[in-house]
């Protein structure tokens, strides 16, 4: 059974990411399953810190991208917005080059709170970072002019 409320393609996700930080960091959505979303990110000049290692903030940006997009795709976008309220990350393995892959899966899909776990791995499927994000599901506010 699928968790997704909205129908979407990976191309849709890339299209809405143009001219955003997602685009700038080279994040690409690569797979969706019935209960997960995957994206890759290069370890290159955009995502490393001065010592040449994958920047922890870049890993967190990948994790927040996956968790936030996943959360949004699980709700009725005409009625709700999803906003991050907390994120944490444990950086477990250094990376100097190549790509990392993030896989986001929900731990809790509540009416008002969602919690997602994002596992970021290297090409050998070794864990580089594990992150958890808490998302608030809030009713859309009526816009006034």
Burial of 34 from C-beta contacts in 10 A (0-12 / 13-18 / 19+): exposed
Which run of H or E residues covers position 102? strand 99-109
Residue tagged active-site, from 64, 86, 117, 139: 64
Asked if 44 and 112 count as a contact pair (C-beta separation under 8 A), the reply is no
Q: Is 139 in the active site?
A: no
Helix spans in 1-145 (H) = 10-16, 21-24, 56-72
The whole-angstrom separation of Cα 16 and Cα 4 is 18
> Which positions are annotated as active-site residues?
64
């Amino acid at each position: 059974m699928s968790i997704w409320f909205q129908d979407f393609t990976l191309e849709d996700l890339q299209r809405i990411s143009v001219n955003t930080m997602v685009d700038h960091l080279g994040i690409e959505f690569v797979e969706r399953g019935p209960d997960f979303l995957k994206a890759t990110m290069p370890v290159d000049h955009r995502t490393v810190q001065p010592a040449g290692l994958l920047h922890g903030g870049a890993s967190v940006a990948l994790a927040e991208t996956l968790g936030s997009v996943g959360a949004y795709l699980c709700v009725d976008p005409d009625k709700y917005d999803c906003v991050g309220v907390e994120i944490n990350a444990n950086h477990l393995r250094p990376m100097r080059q190549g790509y990392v892959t993030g896989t986001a899966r929900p731990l809790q899909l509540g009416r008002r709170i969602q919690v997602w776990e994002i596992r970021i791995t290297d090409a050998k499927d070794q864990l580089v970072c594990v992150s958890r994000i808490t998302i608030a599901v809030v009713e859309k506010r009526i816009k006034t002019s």
